[in-house]
Amino acid sequence: MKKIILTVMVAICTMGIVAAQDMEKATEIYNNAAEAIKTDKAEAITLFEQALEMASQLGEEGANIVTQCKGILPQLYMSVGKEKVNAKDLSGAIEQFNKAIEKGEAYGDPDVVEEAKGLIPQILMAEGNGQLKANDFEGAVNTFQKIIDADPTNGKAHFSKGQALTRLNKTDEAIKAFELAAENGEEENATKQLSNAYVKKAAACQKAKDMKGALENAQKSTQYVDNANAQKIIGMSAMQLKQNKVAAEAFEAYLAMNPSAITKEAGIVYNLGTALQAIGENEKACGYFQKIAQDAKYGEGARYQITQLKCK
């Protein structure tokens, strides 16, 4: 019986010695980590992680070191991330900020979590904008999508994604992106781009002899921002579709926005006169035909119409 008690006492003493040695080692690693902050923060992180793991196994004796490590690590990851931003290592910075978020959530540091979550989209935006400037449009789309995946309400990311898609000639996808941008705080900028996108679609339809599609898309363009290009396409498409009133209104709007076209684009003026004549507005038609009566290409036709209409 005495032998058994003695054995137990030896084991307990041995455990105490081992624990003391572990505590001493954990403290040494912690102190080395604190010193490493001045010269090598990545090494400091590694050492703090080691100290934390070791101290966590020591119960109450290691509690102070555990608390200190948990207080330092989230902020240290943040600091390394910021250094990588300054070094233009954006991917590395995002990796560090994600670790800061992970540690901050695990160790109860909401300030670090909030700051890191705010910085990541800013970095991704910078990376995406850089890709746009470098004409890496596929890469830009993927980068902006990462922001959107994390925050679907980020209007700037939707807008920039739309710009990249436009450069890739993915007009329908760009339109969806700009619509989402408009719904999330970027209405003014997105509206202009939506107008441009629908003009682009209208022009493609016109080239493909799809006059109905050209008319519809050009009209959508003017719903966002009224513009001369769209009004011209509306006028030409409506003429082909024998929608003379629509054509006349569009051509007049086009000439109002682009007055020099009266002398430079006699064909538009002639078509306008023809559309007005078709809807019975002969006096206005006469005025336009008279403007181009001496034009080398359309003058003869205009003079004929002037005669037929008995213009004054």
Task: Give 283's pLDDT tier (boundaries 50, 70, 90).
Answer: very high
Query: What b-and-e string marks burial along 203-238, b requiring 16 or more CB atoms within 10 Å of the CB?
Result: bebbeeeebebbbbbbbbbbebeebebbbbbbbbbb
Percent pLDDT > 70 in the chain is 93
The single-letter DSSP state of residue 168 is: T
User: What is the spatial distance between Cα 51 and Cα 23, in angstroms, rounded to a whole number?
Assistant: 10
Among 47, 40, 43, which residue's Cα sits nearest to residue 25? Answer: 47
User: What is the spatial distance between Cα 244 and Cα 277, in angstroms, rounded to a whole number?
Assistant: 9
- 242: alpha, beta or left, given left = phi > 0 and alpha = psi -120 to 50? left
Percent pLDDT > 90 in the chain is 77
pTM of the shown model:
0.77
Asked if 204 and 234 count as a contact pair (C-beta separation under 8 A), the reply is: no
pLDDT one-digit tens code per residue, 43-67: 989 998 998 898 889 888 888 998 9
Sketch the domain layout of the chain as residue ranges. 1-112
